[in-house]
Structure formats: structure tokens, C-alpha cells
Amino acid sequence: MANPGGGAICNGNLHKHEKQSDGSPSGNCVKNGIVKEAQQNGRPHFYKPIVESFEEAPLHVMVFTYLGYGLGTLFGYLRDFLRSCGLEKCNAAIEREEQKDFVPLYQNFENFYTRNLYMRIRDNWNRPICSAPGSRFDVMERVSDDYNWTFRFTGRIIKDVINMGSYNFLGLAASYDESMRTVKDVLEDYGLGVASTRHEMGTLDKHEELENLVAKFLNVEAAMVFGMGFATNSMNIPALVGKGCLILSDELNHASLVLGARLSGATIRIFKHNNMQSLEKLLRDAVIYGQPRIRRAWKKILILVEGIYSMEGSIVDLPQIVALKKKYKAYLYIDEAHSIGSVGPTGRGVVEFFGLDPRDVDVLMGTFTKSFGAAGGYIAGRKDLVDYLRVHSHSAVYATSMSPPVAEQIIRSMKFIMGLDGTTQGLQRVRQLAKNTRYFRQRLNEMGFIIYGNEESPVIPLLLYMPAKVAAFARHLLNRKIGVVVVGFPATPLAEARARFCVSAAHTREMLDTVLENLDEMGDLLQLKYSRHRKSTRPELYDETSFELED
């Protein structure tokens, strides 16, 4: 799978060498802020500079954040004491009295955070939606009579809530209309379920049509689709690497990548997020020293990264990673769950975003759950890779095949993006998403909020920090008919709780302005405008202007 070709880095940016038709070298180098043209496969490409923000919070904000968690912890211990004395009812799961001499099924302290901190603000998660997740949706109102241990529905529906939380990047997850007639026809002809695996009687003509279309969309030799996005990572990585192999994983990788790496049995080493110095040090040590103790060479070295990191909103520095993987003869696996369909001039993900050749990435993975408004995932690349996975992938051998109507929805959406439906509406949506993303990010910056990530990423984290403000932020916005996702520990670092906005092409300028107006008011009410335009110290080695690699 690896390409033995070389690459170099100029002042921290990719300098990619190619041969022209006359045999003379042609290259591309981003240097001193100037992007030079590269000739690749007869087409000019321009590597975009990485423009990302990870601003540091003021000192007093961090002090009050940790103080808030500290007070919450102290009151948690007090309430646990009252429960043990029988002075307060315990609604949490406990071991039965007749099993008191058994080995505990779970450790009580492991649920301390859930029992005493999360439960106070639990009403901000798992809200039941009763409509399609379009630019607006309907929410079922619920209340709690026992401090969020249980909920009951009031029977009231909160109508037309602006949806700023769903991964509906291109607006293709919508209510039924005539454009979905093909999905309805497939449902009538094939039914809902396949009731078999791909290896047995579960491979339909719709699956083969979809796989051919995915390969064409990504400009690769072959592709294979799976019924579940999470399992696409967790069940296929163990088929690619095993004992005696080395996985180099970005520290912010998704749980599905982490689980797949652990299940593989390979040795795992973590590099700092998007940090090429950290990654190259691990690659160099792996090549020089080999496996621990025996010092034999690693059977494979696999680099695991994501296209867009869903909690940080950052985009992988793909040109430099490709250069490093070529230099050290490693393999590259990229998860484009959030980036496919949402970035790139025609929505083909980060490979197109940076103008790279798809053959530079050994394993292309993505999901259909975001931009395509469906379910499932894919693995794409060389034909021999895909043929190998058809035989060895646990997800292909043991899992039920993708539902036919879901496959048709993906086919319909992909043709729409590619323009194979005879219109340019798909391309217009990709461009509208990019326009909405830049507008929303720019306005939030101007208001003084701290937001993370790449300026082109439609995933926009807004930092809230303090646990009490997390709850107040989500509750107040829902009262204003704006639905947001708030995220805290353990999904984020303890002191970096945030709201995560997902911009969609279906959002109109009026919707975004309404949200921004309310965010401006909320920022003043809750004092959330922390920005002082200082760079964060958390990505320790982000400044790599003097970093160079030699051929």
C-alpha cells in the first residue's frame, strides 16, 4: 500500500517533488506565506496554508472553572455521605444486599462524576426530537420531578427550533419530497432489511452500484461499504494490522479509531495533535530502533488521522503527513467521517481540499451519516486492499448488509453532489456550506468568543469552560428556540467544556443572524466573551516555521 516516493518539507510546509514529461523536476512549496504551483497528474494544485485557532483562556476563567469543579466535587462527597446515612434517597444503581459478598460488578466511585455532577445538568442531553433533522426541527418538551434522575413528557412540542447541532452539513437529511422517490421505490422493491451478511446472501446490486459510485467519487480503484460508520473503523483496522505492527495515532482521534487500534493487538503510540515534529520523532525512532527488546523491524507502520476532528474543529495537516509517510515508508489511514462532502471545492474531502492525489493515502475511510443524510461507512483505495478486506473484515463477514433504502439514499445524495442528476445544486450546496462556515466563524470572532479549529471547518466549538455555564447556555438557547450541542468532560479536557455548532448549507443567512444575535446576548448575559486573541499553549509544537525535513 505504501508509495516509496519521497517528499520534503520547506519551513514546515510540504515540498512535493514530481517529474515533468521531459524528466525535469517540478515542485510545490509553501514558503514565507507564498503558495507555489505544483504539477501533479497533469493538473495544477495549490496546497492551502493551515489557518487554525486555539486561543488560551484568561487566567481568572481557568481559576473559576477549576473552583467550580472543586465545589461540585465537595458537595458530591457530602451528598454521598448523606446517602450512606440514609438521609438522602439514592437513585443510582447499587449492588443488591444479597450480593454484598460478591466481587463488585462495578466500582462505585467510577460513577461519582455521573451521579453528582452530570446528573445536575443531564437535561441538556438526549433531548427527544420528533421531526427530520433539517435546518429546523421539533423537540418534545420534558421535565423532571427528581432532579434529572427521571423525566416525564408534558405533551407539548417545541416547534421550529433552529438546528445548530446535527451533522447535516449539506442539508440532505430532510423530510420526504419528490427527489426521494427513488428511495421509496427501492423500499417497495427490496424491503427494509437484507437479513444476511455480504459473504452469504446479502450482496445486492444496490451495494455494488454504490461501491462503484464511491470509487468514482473518490477517484480510486475500488471501495467497499458497511452498514455502520463506527464499525467501519473498529472492525477494519484489526484486519489491516496486528501483533508486530506499529500504529501512530493522533491524540484527538475518534473513539472508533482508538477501539480499532486496541482490538488489533498492534503497538500504539500517540503523537501530539497535528504536530509534525512529534510524528516524525516517533517515525524516526520506529525505523531506527524497531520493536522493543527484539529490535526487529516493524511489520507495518500505520498512521491514523482524521480529516476534521469533531471536538476541535481542526483539519488534518495532510500534505506534511503524506510527505512524512512517504519518507519513512509508512502507511496512512484517514478517517473522513466529518470532512467528506463538507470540504473541498466539490465536496470530496481533505484530499481534494489540499489538492493531493488520492493515491497518496493508502486507506480512505468515511461515513455516510453526515453529509449524505444516511447511515454506514466505506473503505476505499487500491483494488487489492479492498479485495483483501472483503475476505478478512469482521464487519463484512459477520455484520448484516446495509439496508437497501439507505444505500439508495447514499446513491441519490452522491449523484446530487457530483452533478449526475443533471443539475449543479449539489455543487451550490458545497459552496453555500463554505460560505456559511466562514460567515459564522467570522461573526463569532468579532463578538469576542473563543472558538477552536480551522477557518474552513463547519464544526465550530465555542468554549464555555465553567460547568454551570454549560447548562445555562443550552437551556437559555432552547428557550429561544435554538438547539445546540454542549460537550464536557470526559469527551473534552476537564476545563474545556464547550458548545459545538455544526453549520449546514440549509441554514439561511436569516437563521444564522438570528442565532448570532442570540449568542451575542447570551455572551453578555453569561459573560462568555473571553477572547483576548492569545494563542493557546496546549498544542505545544504548533509553531514549526523552522522545521525542515531532508530527502
Residue 379 and residue 202: Cα distance in Å, rounded? 18
Structural contact between residues 365 and 335, judged by C-beta atoms closer than 8 angstroms: yes
CATH topology for 128-171+425-526 is Aspartate Aminotransferase, domain 1 (3.90.1150)
Q: Grid coordinates standing for 293?
A: 527488546
136-143 β-sheet, strand order: 136-143, 152-163, 482-483
Placement of cell 453529509 in the chain: 371
Among the ranges 4-8, 34-38, 110-114, 199-203, which has the highest mean pLDDT value?
199-203
Please give the Cα distance from 78 to 202 (Å, whole number). Answer: 56
> What pLDDT, on the 0 to 100 scale, is given for residue 108?
67
Question: Is residue 481's pLDDT more than 70?
Answer: yes
Contact in structure between 7 and 15 (CB atoms under 8 Å)? yes
Q: Report the pLDDT value the prediction gives residue 17, as an integer from 0 to 100.
A: 35
- Cross-strand bridge partners of residue 465: 497
Cis geometry, peptide bond prior to residue 490 (ω within 30 degrees of 0): yes
**Average of per-residue pLDDT across 490-495:** 86
297 has a pLDDT exceeding 80: yes
pLDDT value at 469 more than 80 = yes
- Looking at residue 47, its pLDDT comes to 56
Q: Which residue has the higher pLDDT, 331 or 85?
A: 331
CB atoms within 10 A of CB 494: 13
DSSP 249-312: EETT--HHHHHHHHHHT-EEEEE-TT-HHHHHHHHHHHHHH-STTT-PPPS-EEEEEESB-TTT
Yes or no: say if 86 and 80 are a contact pair by the CB < 8 Å rule: no
Identify the residue whose cell numbers are 446490486: 205
Find, among 55, 109, 68, the residue nearest to 495 by Cα.
Answer: 68
| Model pTM score | 0.85
Tell me the pLDDT band of 105, cut-offs 50, 70 and 90: confident
pLDDT recorded at residue 89: 82
Averaged pLDDT, 163-180: 90
The pLDDT, as a whole number, for residue 509 is 96
Query: 328 pLDDT exceeds 60?
Result: yes
pLDDT at 7: 38
Q: Which residue has the higher pLDDT, 229 or 26?
A: 229
Class level of CATH domain 178-418 = alpha beta
Mean pLDDT of 281-288: 96
Annotated domain spans of the chain:
63-123, 128-171+425-526, 178-418
pLDDT band for position 239 (cuts 50, 70, 90): very high
CB atoms within 10 A of CB 374: 25
Shortest CA distance to 527 belongs to which of 445, 460, 484, 472?
472
Task: Provide the 3-class DSSP secondary structure of residue 349.
Answer: coil
Question: What is the rounded CA–CA span in Å between residue 326 and residue 447?
Answer: 43
Q: What is the mean pLDDT of the chain?
A: 86
Q: Do the domains at 128-171+425-526 and 178-418 have one common CATH topology?
A: no
SS3 content of the chain, % helix, strand, coil (to 5): 35, 20, 40
Q: What is the predicted pLDDT for the residue at 220? A: 97
48 — pLDDT class (breaks 50, 70, 90) = low
